[in-house]
Amino acid sequence: MKAYIFLADGFEEVEALTTADLLIRAGVETKLVKVPEGSTGGCKAVRGSHNIKVKPDLTLGEDIAAKDLLDGDCVVLPGGMPGTKNLAASADVINTINAYNNAGKVVAAICAAPSVLGTNGLLKGKQATCFPGFEDKLIGAEHIAAGAVADGNIVTGKSMGSAVTFGLKVIEVLLGKEAADKTEASIYRG
């Protein structure tokens, strides 16, 4: 299994890194992918919404072409501002989430980022959650007030405070409940 997590300047650090950590614990090959649109030019690091710099594994357009990301099983969009807006402005991100969705692969978004799914038609007829105040961007979805919601291949999360719940839900959809339970147990073993 392989997952890609998109990072654009202004991403929510806890949502991205908690999800990456949990996926790795579950044995999923996980790559952090810098989205260059809206990013600090020339810098390999991506600046989070709280000014934490994270060095990605790959940069779109430099290290990897968007079409080469289609070999994965899951793509994750963390929230944060202006990270969510920067993700929404990237044609490569939109093309990738649409390709994953059309192939029935897991598309996951947390906090403000489910708005990217909603405005691109991926939530029609689905149940979903998001950061409070973004419900109107879940176009075509039934809003569920929960930490994380899975509906078919779509996984959405509410906020930074539900990052662990979201990450475990992504694992459950990818690998099954037993894998999610084992991963959850691993975070409490210390």
Q: Which structural domain, as residue segments, surrounds residue 53?
A: 2-185
**Quick one: pLDDT at residue 37?**
64
- Return d(Cα 52, Cα 169) in angstroms, integer: 26
**Quick one: pLDDT at residue 40?**
45
- Output the CA angle 182-187-190, nearest 5 degrees: 125
Query: Which residues are known catalytic residues?
Result: 111
**Number of domain units in the chain:** 1
> Is residue 24 assigned to a domain?
yes
> How many whole angstroms from its chain centre is CA 142?
20
> Is residue 19 assigned to a domain?
yes
> Is residue 21 assigned to a domain?
yes
What residues in the chain have per-residue pLDDT under 50? Answer: 38-41
What CATH number is associated with residue 114? 3.40.50.880
**Quick one: pLDDT at residue 15?**
98
> Is residue 190 assigned to a domain?
no
- Output the CA angle 106-109-111, nearest 5 degrees: 160
Please state whether the peptide bond connecting residue 82 to the residue before it is cis, i.e. omega within 30 degrees of 0: yes
